[in-house]
C-alpha cells in the first residue's frame, strides 16, 4: 500500500513553527526503513498494511509532546501484491509526458 499522511500538533510551537514536531514524526518514518517520500504537504510511505499503520501510530506518539492534540490526515492506495509503486506511479505519468504520442 501507499499511504500519504499529514500530521501536526494542535498548535504551532512557541516560535510559530510546526517544523520540530514534524521532524520528530519524520524521524520515526526514516527509522522504520520503509520506502518513503517527503513532500511539502504530505509524507508518503510504502509497505504492508500492518507495518505502515504501526509507523503511523509511532508518528502520533512522537507528536504528542508538542501539543495536547494531534491532527492526522491520511489517504491510501491499497493494491495487493504491488511493490515499488512509490516511484513506479510517477514514472508512468512522466513517461506519458515525455512521449505524448503514446496512448
Is residue 10 situated within a structural domain?
A: yes
pTM over 0.85: no
- pLDDT tens-place string over residues 6-23: 999 886 666 777 888 999
Full domain range(s) for residue 66:
2-98
Half-sphere exposure of 22 toward its Cβ, with a 13 Å CA cutoff? 15
Rounded Cα–Cα distance for residues 83 and 51 (Å): 14
**Burial group, residue 50, by CB count within 10 angstroms (0-12, 13-18, 19+):** exposed
- pLDDT tens-place string over residues 43-87: 999 999 999 999 999 999 999 888 888 999 999 999 888 888 888
Task: Identify whether the C-beta of residue 5 lies closer than 8 Å to the C-beta of residue 56.
Answer: yes
Strands 36-38 and 70-77: unpaired
Q: What is the CATH number of the domain that holds 64?
A: 3.30.70.930
Is residue 103 situated within a structural domain?
A: no
Amino acid at each position: 500500500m501507499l499511504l500519504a499522511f499529514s500530521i501536526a500538533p494542535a498548535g504551532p510551537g512557541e516560535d510559530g513553527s510546526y517544523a520540530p514536531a514534524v521532524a520528530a514524526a519524520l524521524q520515526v518514518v526514516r527509522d522504520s526503513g520503509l520506502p518513503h517520500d517527503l513532500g511539502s504537504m504530505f509524507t508518503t510511505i510504502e509497505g504492508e498494511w500492518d507495518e505502515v499503520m504501526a509507523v503511523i501510530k509511532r508518528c502520533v506518539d512522537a507528536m504528542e509532546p508538542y501539543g495536547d492534540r494531534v491532527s492526522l490526515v491520511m489517504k491510501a492506495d491499497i493494491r495487493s501484491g504491488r511493490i515499488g509503486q512509490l516511484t513506479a506511479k510517477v514514472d508512468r505519468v512522466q513517461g506519458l509526458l515525455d512521449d505524448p504520442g503514446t496512448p
